Amino acid sequence: NDFLDDGEVVLTFDDGPLRRYTVPVLEALDAHCTKATFFMVGRMAVADPDLVRETAARGHTVGSHTWSHRNQRTLNGTLSRGEMELAISAISKAAGQPTAPFFRFPYLADSRAATAHLKARDHGIFSIDIDSRDFRTKTPADVQRVILNRLSQQRKGILLFHDIQPSTSGALRKLLGELKKRGFKVVH
Protein backbone atom coordinates (compact mmCIF):
# COMPACT_ATOMS: atom_id res chain seq x y z
CA ASN A 1 0.00 0.00 0.00
CA ASP A 2 1.26 3.44 -0.91
CA PHE A 3 0.29 5.44 2.16
CA LEU A 4 3.09 8.01 2.17
CA ASP A 5 2.94 11.48 0.71
CA ASP A 6 5.85 12.96 -1.19
CA GLY A 7 8.63 13.81 1.27
CA GLU A 8 7.50 11.36 3.97
CA VAL A 9 9.68 8.56 5.29
CA VAL A 10 9.25 5.80 7.86
CA LEU A 11 12.31 4.70 9.81
CA THR A 12 12.62 0.99 10.54
CA PHE A 13 15.38 -0.95 12.27
CA ASP A 14 15.88 -4.71 12.04
CA ASP A 15 17.83 -7.42 13.85
CA GLY A 16 18.35 -5.93 17.32
CA PRO A 17 18.42 -4.99 19.97
CA LEU A 18 22.17 -4.88 20.49
CA ARG A 19 22.99 -2.42 23.26
CA ARG A 20 26.29 -1.18 21.79
CA TYR A 21 24.55 0.14 18.67
CA THR A 22 20.86 0.34 19.59
CA VAL A 23 21.42 2.86 22.39
CA PRO A 24 23.14 5.40 20.07
CA VAL A 25 20.28 4.90 17.60
CA LEU A 26 17.75 5.63 20.36
CA GLU A 27 19.73 8.69 21.45
CA ALA A 28 19.87 10.03 17.89
CA LEU A 29 16.12 9.54 17.51
CA ASP A 30 15.51 11.32 20.84
CA ALA A 31 17.76 14.22 19.81
CA HIS A 32 15.53 14.76 16.79
CA CYS A 33 12.20 14.04 18.58
CA THR A 34 11.69 11.20 16.10
CA LYS A 35 9.99 7.82 16.48
CA ALA A 36 10.74 4.61 14.61
CA THR A 37 9.69 0.98 14.33
CA PHE A 38 12.04 -1.72 15.57
CA PHE A 39 11.65 -5.25 14.21
CA MET A 40 13.39 -7.27 16.88
CA VAL A 41 14.79 -10.78 16.74
CA GLY A 42 13.41 -12.88 19.59
CA ARG A 43 16.73 -14.26 20.83
CA MET A 44 18.19 -10.73 20.82
CA ALA A 45 15.23 -9.42 22.85
CA VAL A 46 15.62 -12.19 25.42
CA ALA A 47 19.32 -11.34 25.75
CA ASP A 48 18.52 -7.71 26.72
CA PRO A 49 14.92 -7.32 27.91
CA ASP A 50 15.75 -4.01 29.62
CA LEU A 51 16.63 -2.50 26.24
CA VAL A 52 13.39 -3.82 24.72
CA ARG A 53 11.42 -2.11 27.51
CA GLU A 54 13.48 1.07 27.12
CA THR A 55 12.81 1.17 23.38
CA ALA A 56 9.06 0.85 23.96
CA ALA A 57 9.11 3.34 26.86
CA ARG A 58 10.70 5.95 24.58
CA GLY A 59 7.61 5.69 22.37
CA HIS A 60 8.97 3.55 19.55
CA THR A 61 6.99 0.74 18.00
CA VAL A 62 8.29 -2.77 18.63
CA GLY A 63 7.47 -5.53 16.14
CA SER A 64 8.93 -8.95 15.47
CA HIS A 65 11.49 -10.36 13.06
CA THR A 66 11.46 -14.11 13.90
CA TRP A 67 13.21 -15.90 16.75
CA SER A 68 16.61 -16.43 15.13
CA HIS A 69 16.58 -14.52 11.82
CA ARG A 70 16.28 -17.64 9.69
CA ASN A 71 15.12 -17.34 6.10
CA GLN A 72 11.46 -18.36 6.26
CA ARG A 73 11.43 -19.60 2.66
CA THR A 74 13.89 -22.33 3.63
CA LEU A 75 11.76 -23.71 6.48
CA ASN A 76 8.81 -26.04 6.46
CA GLY A 77 5.51 -24.68 7.75
CA THR A 78 5.91 -25.99 11.29
CA LEU A 79 9.41 -24.56 11.74
CA SER A 80 8.39 -21.27 10.18
CA ARG A 81 5.37 -20.86 12.45
CA GLY A 82 7.56 -21.78 15.42
CA GLU A 83 10.08 -19.06 14.50
CA MET A 84 7.29 -16.48 14.27
CA GLU A 85 5.38 -17.54 17.39
CA LEU A 86 8.45 -17.86 19.58
CA ALA A 87 9.59 -14.39 18.50
CA ILE A 88 6.22 -12.77 19.16
CA SER A 89 6.03 -14.41 22.59
CA ALA A 90 9.65 -13.70 23.58
CA ILE A 91 9.61 -10.06 22.47
CA SER A 92 6.30 -9.39 24.22
CA LYS A 93 7.62 -11.01 27.40
CA ALA A 94 10.84 -8.97 27.20
CA ALA A 95 8.80 -5.80 26.64
CA GLY A 96 6.53 -6.60 29.57
CA GLN A 97 3.52 -5.94 27.37
CA PRO A 98 2.09 -7.00 24.03
CA THR A 99 4.06 -5.57 21.13
CA ALA A 100 2.65 -4.15 17.92
CA PRO A 101 1.17 -6.73 15.55
CA PHE A 102 3.86 -5.90 12.99
CA PHE A 103 6.23 -8.35 11.36
CA ARG A 104 9.07 -8.18 8.89
CA PHE A 105 10.52 -11.24 7.19
CA PRO A 106 14.30 -11.67 7.47
CA TYR A 107 15.86 -11.07 4.06
CA LEU A 108 12.34 -9.94 3.02
CA ALA A 109 11.87 -13.64 2.20
CA ASP A 110 8.22 -14.45 2.78
CA SER A 111 6.36 -17.61 1.93
CA ARG A 112 2.71 -18.12 1.16
CA ALA A 113 2.20 -20.24 4.27
CA ALA A 114 3.99 -17.77 6.56
CA THR A 115 2.05 -14.87 5.11
CA ALA A 116 -1.23 -16.74 5.64
CA HIS A 117 -0.25 -17.51 9.23
CA LEU A 118 0.47 -13.85 9.99
CA LYS A 119 -2.74 -12.77 8.28
CA ALA A 120 -4.71 -15.20 10.47
CA ARG A 121 -3.02 -13.59 13.51
CA ASP A 122 -3.95 -10.09 12.26
CA HIS A 123 -0.29 -9.12 11.94
CA GLY A 124 0.75 -6.52 9.41
CA ILE A 125 3.71 -7.44 7.23
CA PHE A 126 6.18 -4.65 6.52
CA SER A 127 8.36 -4.49 3.47
CA ILE A 128 10.76 -1.68 2.53
CA ASP A 129 11.21 0.92 -0.17
CA ILE A 130 14.84 1.86 0.46
CA ASP A 131 17.59 -0.34 1.90
CA SER A 132 20.41 1.57 3.61
CA ARG A 133 22.82 -1.29 2.85
CA ASP A 134 24.33 -0.56 6.27
CA PHE A 135 25.42 -4.18 6.63
CA ARG A 136 27.84 -3.73 3.72
CA THR A 137 29.88 -0.90 5.23
CA LYS A 138 31.29 0.28 8.51
CA THR A 139 31.33 3.87 7.29
CA PRO A 140 28.45 6.11 8.44
CA ALA A 141 28.92 8.41 5.43
CA ASP A 142 28.17 5.48 3.09
CA VAL A 143 24.85 4.85 4.85
CA GLN A 144 23.89 8.51 4.61
CA ARG A 145 24.87 8.69 0.93
CA VAL A 146 22.84 5.59 -0.01
CA ILE A 147 19.71 6.88 1.73
CA LEU A 148 19.94 10.43 0.40
CA ASN A 149 20.69 9.29 -3.16
CA ARG A 150 17.71 6.95 -3.20
CA LEU A 151 15.41 9.54 -1.63
CA SER A 152 16.45 12.12 -4.23
CA GLN A 153 14.91 9.75 -6.80
CA GLN A 154 11.97 8.24 -4.89
CA ARG A 155 11.08 11.22 -2.63
CA LYS A 156 9.45 8.96 0.02
CA GLY A 157 9.49 5.48 1.48
CA ILE A 158 9.97 2.98 4.25
CA LEU A 159 13.67 3.02 5.08
CA LEU A 160 15.51 -0.09 6.30
CA PHE A 161 18.37 0.13 8.78
CA HIS A 162 19.86 -2.40 11.19
CA ASP A 163 20.37 -1.35 14.80
CA ILE A 164 23.15 -3.91 15.11
CA GLN A 165 25.41 -2.06 12.67
CA PRO A 166 28.03 0.49 13.70
CA SER A 167 27.54 2.33 10.41
CA THR A 168 23.89 3.02 11.28
CA SER A 169 24.54 4.07 14.87
CA GLY A 170 27.21 6.44 13.57
CA ALA A 171 25.16 7.84 10.70
CA LEU A 172 21.73 8.39 12.16
CA ARG A 173 22.07 11.68 14.03
CA LYS A 174 23.62 13.47 11.05
CA LEU A 175 21.25 11.76 8.59
CA LEU A 176 18.18 12.89 10.52
CA GLY A 177 19.45 16.45 10.41
CA GLU A 178 20.06 16.22 6.68
CA LEU A 179 16.60 14.74 6.06
CA LYS A 180 15.03 17.69 7.89
CA LYS A 181 17.22 20.17 6.02
CA ARG A 182 16.07 18.65 2.72
CA GLY A 183 12.41 18.89 3.67
CA PHE A 184 11.70 15.25 4.51
CA LYS A 185 9.27 14.43 7.28
CA VAL A 186 9.64 11.29 9.38
CA VAL A 187 6.24 9.74 10.06
CA HIS A 188 5.54 7.02 12.58
**pLDDT reading at 1 higher than 80:** no
pLDDT (0 to 100) of residue 112: 93
pLDDT at 95: 98
**pTM (whole model) above 0.85:** yes
Mean pLDDT of all residues belonging to the chain: 97
Which whole-number Å values give the CA distances from 14 to 41, 47, 106, 113, in the listed order?
8, 16, 8, 22
Separation of alpha carbons 22 and 70, rounded Å: 21
Cα–Cα distance for residue pair 112/1, rounded to 1 Å: 18
* Mean pLDDT of all residues in 47-76: 97
The angle, 0 to 180 degrees and rounded to 10, between the axes of the packed helices 112-120 and 77-95 is 40
Question: Taking the CA of residue 40 as centre, how many other CA atoms within 13 Å lie in the half-sphere pointing to its CB?
Answer: 36
Q: Which residues pair with 19 in a beta bridge?
A: none
Mean pLDDT of 56-84: 96
Per-residue pLDDT band at 2 (split at 50, 70, 90): confident
- pLDDT value at residue 158: 98
Q: Is 7 left (phi over 0), alpha (psi -120 to 50) or beta?
A: left
